Amino acid sequence: MDMEGCLSKIKELSQELVQKQIPGNVEEIIDKLFSKVSCLVDKLFSENLELLYGRLKTRSDGQSDLNIPKGDVEKDLFRVHSYQAESAVAQADHQQAVSYVQRCKDMLLRLPKETGYLSLMCYNFGVDTYNLKKYEESSFWLSQSYDIGKMHKKYSPGASVQAKILRLLANVYMEWDSIAELLDVEVPLDVCLNTVNLLMDADREVLAFEFLKSVCKHFEASPELGRAQVQHIKMLLQRGKELLGKQKIEDIITGHYTGKQLSPEALNHLHLLLWDRAAKNFEARNYSEAVQWYNYSLSFYSAGQMEQNLAKLQRNRASCFLHLQQLDKNDQQDAAMKALEYLCQQSQDSGQVFIALRCLVRLVLSKMGTITEEKSNLNYFAGDFSKDPTDTLLLLYEFEARAKLNDPKLETVLESVMELQQIETKTLETIASLAMEPPAHFPSLCKKALRIALSLHRKRPDSDILRCSQCLHSLIQLSLPTGVLEVESRVLEEVWGYYEEALLIISSAHGEFPEVEILWLLTRAWNTGILLYSLAPYTEAEKWCGLGMSFLRHLGSLQASYETQMSGLYTEVLDRLDKAKTNLVTEA
């Protein structure tokens, strides 16, 4: 029907009404006429709107039939459909309103900025139908409002409005007396939890707990289950059912270590709940009970985990044990040792470092005494005290403390280590490392410890070739001259001895000596020869270059590539050495 046909139809209707001489005054006649005209206009409008909407969706020819952008037309269509939905709700035509809102939802993909508007409109529909006690329709509109609000978070009404929607939806179901149907229609967990809160506020405690049990069972396979469990614990504690609440907490702890961890959000809420309970008991001077609640919180932290909240938790537990005069039960030696070790590494105050080391030694000795008590008893009955690590640890910490304080009596500690009944090579290597760890700098002690460690390695039937190579590397690195002023015959003799030992170990290692280390030994020996050549002691230069060449046959896969380069350079060096020697003879 076009506009001309519509006007013609209106004219016919008006003539018909007058000819029939309908009883009543003129206003009644006008009302009847207006009603019929409205229906005709609405029909005409809907038909043309459907036509326009269809063209916008298909656009099969790829060209627009309109003189305005498609986006602007869609915005106008969105508004018209929303007005139609409002009109349908006002006329109590629920199905028609649903149809119009669905069209608006379909358009949100192209008009995301309208998300907030449509969500609030559905919320208003929910409020209106709630006031009319049409609970089924109200629950539908509120659910639509919540779902639409989640479609585009950037343009949603906001978290506070979403929470308001859920509260009202929970209230609708409660007044509708259809709480059991909540789980059948797959509403969000937030709605269920809000419903539980409303039931508790309305003093319907039994129903609230029964419903919450159903919620936990319904969301058993969902990652959101933890939130419902924490809510259940909170309600139990609020109602003074501590025993049952503790049982639920212990179940969650068991699940935490069997693959059923809470979400980070739910776990954080549980920690807050536990800490609050512990704090209240602490204020009431019920320290043993406070410790129990803190221990529940501690159960969710893994061994060795370090974070700020854990430090606070341990501090609170320590306060409880202090009041209970049960310091031995705090059992936080590991955390204290880590803190003291960190202090020793970072502090620039030598006095503070020394105090920290003393405390650390005491803790280590205490812990070692606990750990090795049974072994010590066995060793005692066997008459064997060599396996007791206490003396070794004590000497190591003493060496570190004296080294950092630049104590001249440091060597006496190394001598004490040598007097131990059983010396571990690892102990000597640790001493060597501590002797050169800043601010300590004791190269002679470091080399002494390394030489002893290397000797012990060599004496073993199953020598650790890798650790032997590391000892030799460190010894040569510390001893080999790095500049002109450091070239002394005494030093060169010392390093030459290390190289000879390296060649012996390599020859007997059957390919186990690291190839990278062999290449490093070759390079350092060769560079020493070149350094001596530049200083004119040609005989020594030839000797060191020849030493470097002697490592070539041990290189393995790298031998071919390096042999060509080194042989040419070695020949050139020998030629230059011969010429230099000839010149010296001629000048003489």
pLDDT tens digits, 444-473: 999 999 999 999 988 888 888 899 999 999
- Asked if the structure places residue 92 within a domain, the reply is yes
Q: Which amino acid is at 23?
A: P
- The answer to whether residue 548 scores a pLDDT higher than 50 is yes
CB 452 within 8 A of CB 418: yes
Of residues 134 and 373, the one with the higher pLDDT is: 134
Q: Helix 425-435 crosses helix 410-418 at what angle (to 10 degrees)?
A: 170
- Asked if the structure places residue 50 within a domain, the reply is yes
Domain enclosing residue 83, as ranges: 1-55+71-111
- Asked if the structure places residue 7 within a domain, the reply is yes
Q: Residue 580: phi, psi to the nearest 5?
A: -65, -40
The two three-digit tokens of residue 194, written as one number: 């809000």
- The answer to whether residue 188 scores a pLDDT higher than 70 is no
In DSSP notation, 346-401 reads H---HHHHHHHHHHHHHHHHHHHHHHTHHHHHHHHHHT--TT--HHHHHHHHHHHH
- Asked if the structure places residue 46 within a domain, the reply is yes
CA 116 to chain centre: 34
Alpha helix positions (H), 460-558: 465-479, 489-508, 515-534, 538-549
DSSP-assigned letter for residue 484: G
- Asked if the structure places residue 280 within a domain, the reply is no
Least confident of 144-148, 390-394, 483-487, 573-577: 483-487
Place of tokens 């000839």: 582
CB 145 within 8 A of CB 165: yes
CB 498 within 8 A of CB 476: yes
- Asked if the structure places residue 189 within a domain, the reply is no
Closest CA to 196 of 186, 185, 208: 208
Give the total number of structural domains in the chain. 1
- Asked if the structure places residue 170 within a domain, the reply is no
Q: What is the pTM of this model?
A: 0.40
Mean pLDDT of the chain: 76
* Planar angle of CA 16, 20, 24, nearest 5 degrees: 115
- Asked if the structure places residue 75 within a domain, the reply is yes
- The answer to whether residue 296 scores a pLDDT higher than 50 is yes
For 239-274, the pLDDT digits (tens) are 888 888 888 888 888 888 887 888 888 889 999 999
Of the pLDDT bands very low, low, confident and very high (cuts 50, 70, 90), residue 192 is: confident
Return the C-alpha torsion angle 459, 460, 464, 469, nearest 10: 0
